[in-house]
Structure 1
Amino acid sequence: MEIVLRARQTYLDALPIAAAVVVQDDLGRLRVVAANAAFDRIEALTGKPGKLLHRAPFDNAFADFLDGDQAAIQFNWTTDSTASARHFIVRLATLEPLPGMPWRCMVSLVDRTAEVESERSLRAEMLHDSLTGLPNRVAFDEALEEAAACDRAGGATSHHAVLVVDLARFSRVNECMGSMAGDELIITVARRLLFTLRAGDVLARIGGDEFGILMRINASVEEAREAARRIVTTLSTPFRLSDLEIRIDCAVGCAMTREGAGFAEDVVRNAQFACKRAKSTGSVEIYQSGEATAVRRRFSIETELRRALENARLELAYQPLVDLASNRVTGFEALARWSHPEEGMISPAEFIPVAEESGLIVPLGRWAMETAVRQLAEWDEAAGSALPLSMAVNLSAIQLTRDDVPTMVAETLARHGVAGRRLVVELTESAIVHDPERAARVLGQLKALDCAIAMDDFGTGHSNLAYLQKLPIDVLKIDRSFITGMLTDRDKVAIVRAVLGLANALGMRTTAEGIEAVELAHTLSALGCSHGQGYYFGRPMSADEAMACFRAFNG
């Protein structure tokens, strides 16, 4: 028997893991009859050597094991809840019964502390931003899911809000001062934001220059709005980078966890919608119900517009431009029209902004230029000679930036044999203000093709009068907002008179938009406006109707 016991002990000592043999005596008591040194050390960790089997979760595990018919079971065990805790996989396995011996089993413990700590460290890295040390988007979403669940469980008494803070001009800092300065700025912003928060608020870096804040609020959203104002004020103080002081503006959008959002990503997206609106308004914005639907609508429009361009489902309508002195049609403005097979007419006010945002404005602009110039050539061919008509085509600021407009125009004119002097390229003030140097270069190249340049919607943007003097602009189009109701509004008359005087001084022609009555046409002509456009002369019409209109006006 002694030889058997010695062999058993030698076997246990040779094992690379903690192990012990446990027996159950006739009274049902469990006791360790053999163990290796590794098992003894683990027992010592508990502070009560010899009592390990009678502590949770061992006692419950043995009770289940004895009552069941399994040959082996295993469970996880942690020595305590402190930072120095050890983690084990405990396995209980029945040993073959020996004659005259009580029931016995092998208890083994595999130390997985290093694995648990590695997982914990890896998770910490995965859940934190390496630059600022703040929680990242994944961790923020987890915290937000917990808050949303708390709100659902708490009923009307539990409310959380999410703020999204987006930094303006951050990319300029990276471009001009380098990534090191950009990193320093992000770290400083994070520190300032932390000082604006209350205990329990969660701050996370959820994007390159975007931060998210989760905060508990009362039933009123005003508390979140006030927190947003504190953030804007805090970040308005200039930042010192190297020997420079940099001012960084920010946009802040807010959404409530209970505002029609089922998941964390929905709440964050809602706050981002509000933040995008804040960029344009310059004030703190709260998510409004329906914004997500509007965004999905824009994506739907984008998809359908792409298909419409590919399948030639768009059309041009032509609105007459009339010489107010002679009452003769001297040209047409080409306007894109989209008749959807299911939704009917979709307004340009809806699909043009989508085209600009998605980049579809480039193929759309090229299509409009090609179609308009080709139509002018077809009218000439039908008449047997070049008609005394010009064609005005709108050019988007996005297309001006992304496309080789002069080459595209030159090739289009050459392809259809139309002289450059018969083409009027219309740009809005924003297209010029956005990038004046590029605008000047492109307009100069268009003038070299003998094209005329018109500034559309004049007076509604942020024109610098220096642009009018330096850029080769031939026509100022006075926006309809100044023309409508002009006869009963002295201020509008004064504005129109001033624009006409400015255009005359600079040697430019003028076109008044939105003329809907003969009295307006006569008054504008008397004031010195050269051309008019509006429903009084004709609505946008098909190519055949446009030619009929030309003949009716010109005899």
Structure 2
Amino acid sequence: MGDDAALLGALPIAAAVIGDQDGCLKVLDYNDRFMETVELSTCRAIDWNDADCLKDGAIAEVLREFFGDFSSPGELDFRDGEGVSARYFKMKLAPLPQGKGSFPRCLLSLVDRTVEAQAERSLRAEMLRDSLTGLPNRLAFTEKVEQLDHDGKRDVEHAVLVVDMLRFSRINESMGSLAGDELLITFARRLMSALRGGDVLARTGGNEFGVLVTLRRGVVDALAAADRIQEVLAAPFKISDLEIRVECAIGLALMTAGQDAEELFRNAQFAVKQAKQVGKPQVYEARQASEARRRFSIETELRRALDKDQLKLFYQPLIDLKSGQVAGFEALARWEHEDRGEISPTEFIPVAEESGLILQLGRWAMHTAADTLADWDRKAGEPLPLYVGVNLSAIQVARDDIAAVVSSALKSSGLKGDRLTLELTESSIVQDPARATRVFDALKSLDATVAMDDFGTGYSSLAYLQRLPIDVLKIDRSFVTGMMVDPDSVAIVRAVLSLADALGMSTTAEGIETVELATTLATLGCASGQGFYFAKPLEAEAALEYWKSRKRH
């Protein structure tokens, strides 16, 4: 043992030699630091009864469980005690040479990591806290949700609410960041006052807060929590001698068994987006999220399809209702996806508008339509008595230089302006009449024809029709298809035709699907029409052949 004592005395850390004799762990020797460490320990790991045998102590349990027969080295982090009085050690075990007839021995060293562990704990607490409001942050909030699994509380219903403060950036911009910080702190206090005991509030983003609530009556309780939050936020906030009313959007997601905490939070954030659109708290629905993912997927693939020129223009004939001949064609975008098959324009056009891809799509359609008409002229050996109508989106009118796009298409194709008709929906004109007027005037300077599409579905006034240089009113199919059974539809169509005649405008009826409709509209004085009765949208070559077939008659 003399060698052991010399070894222990030379070590600057707490250490002891432990032996296993007939199943009893014995402290064969130790240095002063080891004894001091053990005596300071809250669990008094060494029991000195029966001489120096370790009995039922925490260290003895750890030695037997993790280090077995002391035949191989190892180390283990070990906590002694609970709460703020807990002490933390790194326990290391190194086998010692075993002499003939002796029992297994090892060198046990204890490194007190209490100060280091407390510093780590303080740092982690700081990492999980929002420095401005003192609330838990996004990481801490997620861990709170995950903790429900460990605590066995997933059988109790819970929900996550995300509260988004609207137009917060305006306050920062107009009043400065200090006023913004003051508002966030006051906002957080208000939110806290709306919660019940056990609810958890966290600041999960710049002007975004998360709330974890326990539910007794399912979604009813979750919506009640949202109502309480809105109620306490209804009163104005006093910031820098100003009273500010703050609105918020609230999204809710109900927790399901085995659900990932991040997924749950993202679901609530998705519901916030829905809440912003409808103006009231919204509960997450998987179907809506699935649709959103599909729209995002379509956006990505539409971008690729435009870059690879994978879309086509089809052309629906516009028939002169008096002569029965083709007066022109409306160009319509079609997308045949290599995996999904045909994707409807009613699906990809809104995605294009939302993403801004409508600008690229619109330019492509304008140039393609002009080039197609020019190609027909070349094949016929002369300019054909045809025009092509191209639809313009409200987003194009607001963001693009439409006149420049049309001018470029005319120049590259060699066509004159009167061969193109530009169609804008009534609703897009009403959104910004002043800009629509400037765009229309610029198009008229190029000799292009201007049509108001879907007339009757928006809220345009007679003043717009009188002031704007509109050449054609296109009567929406919803009125046309009901003419044979609904007297009101007939009255509306008749009124539109009379109005157009009084203002010197031409008219086109959409959705003509029967000979009776075609005959009735012609009798009422409608100039032209389109619909499945005449033809569905056709590819370029088929459209030219269709024109030829109608021309012979």
1:350-365 correspondence to structure 2 within 5 Å = 350-365=347-362
Q: Which residue of 2 aligns with 1:87?
A: 88
Map of 2:51 onto structure 1: none
Contact kept, 8 Å, 1:151 with 1:160, in 2: the verdict is no
Whether the 8 Å CA contact 2:319–2:529 is kept in 1: the answer is yes
Match of 2:479 among 475, 479, 482: 482
Mapped pair 1:43 → 2:39: yes
1:142 alignment counterpart: 143
Q: Give the alignment partner of residue 334 of structure 1, picking from 308, 316, 331.
A: 331
Q: Are the equivalent residues in 2 in contact too, given 1:160–1:216 (CA < 8 A)? A: yes
- Written as runs of structure 1 = structure 2, the 5 A alignment for 1:435-454 is 442-454=439-451
In 1, Cα distance between equivalents of 2:76 and 2:424: 73
1:120 aligns with 2:117: no
Match of 1:286 among 278, 283, 287: 283
Q: Return the offset for 1:217.
A: 2.3
1:404-441 deviation line (CA, Å, top 9, x unaligned): 44333221110001122332222335545666666555
Matches within 5 A, 1:190-201: 190-201=188-199
Post-superposition Cα deviations, 1:438-461, rounded to whole Å, max 9, x if no partner, equal: 655555544443333333334445
Q: CA deviation at 1:329?
A: 3.9
Give the corresponding residue for 2:224.
Answer: 226
Distance in structure 2 (CA, Å) of the matches to 1:55 and 1:424: 94
With 23-32 and 276-285 compared, the bigger mean Cα shift is at 23-32
User: What whole-Å deviation, never above 9, does each CA across 1:152-188 have from its counterpart, x for those lacking one?
Assistant: 974xxx4333334444434554555555555454444
1:76 alignment counterpart: 77
Task: Tell me how many residue pairs correspond in the alignment.
Answer: 547
Instruction: Check whether the contact 1:144–1:264 (CA below 8 A) recurs between aligned residues.
Output: yes
Q: Provide the C-alpha distance between the structure 1 equivalents of 2:241 and 2:291, rounded to a whole number of angstroms.
A: 45
In structure 1, what is the equivalent of residue 112 of structure 2?
A: 111
Please state how far the C-alpha of 1:319 moved relative to its aligned partner. Answer: 1.8
How far apart are the structure 2 equivalents of 1:281 and 1:479? Answer: 27
Deviation at 1:40, TM superposition (A): 2.5
2:162–2:272 CA contact under 8 A, matched in 1: yes
1:456 aligns with 2:457: no
Q: 1:121 to 1:262 in 2, by over 3 A?
A: same
Structure 1 gaps, min length 5: none
Question: The residue matched to 1:143 in structure 2 has which SS?
Answer: helix
SS of alignment partner, residue 83 of structure 1 = helix
Match of 2:254 among 248, 256, 273: 256
Q: Deviations over 1:329-364 (max 9, x none)?
A: 432210012233454432111222233344433332
TM-fit CA distance, 1:506: 6.1
Cα distance, 1:124 vs structure 2: 3.1
Confirm or deny: 8 A CA contact 2:199 2:213 kept in the other structure. Answer: yes
Q: Deviations over 1:126-150 (max 9, x none)?
A: 4344444443443333333444677
- Percent of aligned positions that are identical: 54
Is the alpha carbon distance of 1:275 and 1:44 closer, same or farther for their aligned partners in structure 2, counting shifts above 3 Å? Answer: closer
Indicate the larger mover: 71-80 or 389-398: 71-80
Relative to structure 1, the CA distance from residue 74 to residue 431 in structure 2 (aligned partners, 3 Å threshold; closer, same or farther) is same
Alpha-carbon shift at residue 283 of structure 1 (Å): 4.1
Corresponding letter in the other structure for 1:200: G
CA distance in 1 between partners of 2:381 and 2:137 (Å): 70
Which whole-Å deviations, capped at 9, do the CAs of 1:353-412 have from their partners, x for residues lacking one?
233344433332222112111111122223333333322112233444554443332211
Q: Distance in 2 between matches of 1:151 and 1:59?
A: 31
Question: Any idea what SS the aligned residue of 2:60 has?
Answer: helix
| 1:365–1:395 CA contact under 8 A, matched in 2 | yes
Q: TM-score, normalising length from structure 1?
A: 0.79
Q: Does the aligned pair in 2 maintain the 1:23–1:33 contact within 8 Å?
A: no
Deviation at 1:227, TM superposition (A): 2.8
1:77-476 maps to which residues of 2 (within 5 A)?
A: 77-83=78-84, 85-93=86-94, 107-147=108-148, 154=155, 158-174=156-172, 179-218=177-216, 220-242=218-240, 245-258=243-256, 262-323=259-320, 329-429=326-426, 431-432=428-429, 442-461=439-458, 472-476=469-473
CA contact (8 A) 1:302 1:354 kept: yes
Question: Over aligned residues, Cα RMSD in angstroms?
Answer: 4.5
Identify if the C-alpha distance between structure 1 residues 381 and 92 changes in structure 2 by more than 3 Å, giving closer, same or farther: closer
Q: Any conservation in 2 of the 1:72–1:94 contact (CA below 8 Å)?
A: yes
Matches of 1:344 and 1:2 in 2, distance apart? 87
Deviation digits for residues 504-527 of structure 1 (CA, Å, limit 9, x no counterpart) = 676654443323345545665676
Q: How much does 1:308 deviate?
A: 3.6
Residues 1:524 and 1:102: Cα distance change in structure 2 (over 3 Å): closer
Q: TM-score, normalised by structure 2?
A: 0.79
Q: Distance in 1 between matches of 2:43 and 2:74?
A: 26
The alpha-carbon deviation at position 550 of structure 1 amounts to 4.0
Relative to structure 1, the CA distance from residue 535 to residue 150 in structure 2 (aligned partners, 3 Å threshold; closer, same or farther) is farther
